[in-house]
Amino acid sequence: MIHETAQIHPSAVIEEGVKIGANVTVGPFTYIAKDVEIGDGNEIMSHVVIKGPTKIGNDNRIFPYAIIGEECQDKKYNGEPTRLEIGDRNVIRESVQIHRGTVQDKGVTIVGNDNLLCVNAHIAHDVVVGNHTHIGNNSILGGHVTVGDHAGVMALSAIHPFCTVGAYSYVGGCSAVVQDVPPYVLAQGNHATPFGLNLVGLQRNGFEKPELHALRRAYKEIYRSGKTLAEVKPVLEEMAKDWPSVGLFLDMLNNTTRGIIR
């Protein structure tokens, strides 16, 4: 079903069964396969490929040569009907690739809202990208990676499968991340190591000085106190009573499977 207000270029190929919402534009030579649902107000430019099962929300902009919802590169994938879900107001730049999930995980790749995926970024199977993230040019999110809200992964960086990049963290360009990056942390290098808090990003997102001081104290407990992580956790638990944002550090320490960058 294609809404009457949608504008489809005559050279675009839309398979039977595709759902396209109101005020959507589809550019020349774009191909949209069956089992794709596209919400309202999306701008899909020329030479885009969208395969399914894929669901795309509202008001996204998808630039030329992006490949959305293709089957993954995992050798275990055997044609199962896994999915891709994309939220609202994302900007997906040229040649971005976003692959569907695998049945070995949750069966779905998820991209949230208000994200910027820059040129040639690769979003592998079963990845979860939160909201308001910045995924830089030629960056790679390996399978099963999670990127938290307001995080940044800069150009030419690679995130190892099953790693988590915490909320409000920042991975500098050309970095190789092989363990989890805690929330709020600035990381850089091959292999990536911590360089303090992502203060610029935190300030831009409205964190005030008292809360920044609390997060700095939490960072020092983890990285500079000489304590084991088991010894650090009770301290962070007490701090989180006054500063709930410190709780994101605790969540990372309690749930990490690969360990955190050191």
User: Which pLDDT belongs to residue 47?
Assistant: 98
Sign of CA dihedral 235, 237, 242, 246: positive
Which tokens in the block code for residue 222? 């983890």
User: Which pLDDT belongs to residue 190?
Assistant: 96
| pTM given for the model | 0.96
Q: Which residue has the tokens 């999110």?
A: 141
CA distances from 129 to 152, 187, 212, 213 (A): 11, 18, 25, 28
- List 163's β-bridge partners, or say none: none
User: Which pLDDT belongs to residue 207?
Assistant: 97
Does the annotation mark 114 as catalytic? Answer: no
Cite the DSSP H helix spans in 143-228: 199-204, 209-223
Phi, psi of 55 (to 5 degrees): -125, 125
- What is d(CA 2, CA 19) in angstroms, rounded to the nearest whole number? 6
**Chain centroid offset of residue 12 CA:** 29
Among the listed residues 125, 134, 144, 160, the single catalytic one is 125
pLDDT band at 70; cut points 50, 70, 90: very high
User: Which pLDDT belongs to residue 67?
Assistant: 98
CB 174 within 8 A of CB 156: yes
Kindly report, as residue ranges, where domains of CATH 1.20.1180.10 are found in the chain. 202-255
The per-residue b/e assignment along 98-122, b for 16 or more CB within 10 angstroms, e otherwise, is bbbbbeebebbbbbbbbbebbbbbb
- What is d(CA 128, CA 161) in angstroms, rounded to the nearest whole number? 12
CATH architecture of the domain with residue range 7-144:
3 Solenoid (2.160)
Which of helix, strand or coil describes residue 147? strand
Does the annotation mark 88 as catalytic? Answer: no
- What is d(CA 165, CA 129) in angstroms, rounded to the nearest whole number? 10
Give 204-251 pLDDT, tens digit per residue.
999 999 999 999 999 999 999 999 999 999 999 999 999 999 999 999
pLDDT band at 254; cut points 50, 70, 90: very high
Domain 202-255, CATH: 1.20.1180.10
CB 211 within 8 A of CB 249: no
Among the listed residues 143, 148, 152, 166, the single catalytic one is 143
User: Which pLDDT belongs to residue 259?
Assistant: 97
Give 172-193 pLDDT, tens digit per residue.
999 999 999 999 999 999 999 9
Helix (H) or strand (E) holding 14: strand 13-14
Count of other CB atoms within 10 angstroms of residue 262: 9
Does the annotation mark 134 as catalytic? Answer: no
pLDDT band at 118; cut points 50, 70, 90: very high
pLDDT band at 260; cut points 50, 70, 90: very high
Give 2-50 pLDDT, tens digit per residue.
999 999 999 999 999 999 999 999 999 999 999 999 999 999 999 999 9
Helix (H) or strand (E) holding 49: strand 49-50
User: Which pLDDT belongs to residue 86?
Assistant: 99
Kindly report, as residue ranges, where domains of CATH 2.160.10.10 are found in the chain. 7-144
Among the listed residues 74, 126, 149, 180, the single catalytic one is 126
- DSSP code string of 87-126: -SS-EE-TT-EEE---TTTTSEEEE-SS-EE-TT-EE-TT
Percent of the chain scoring above 70 in pLDDT: 100
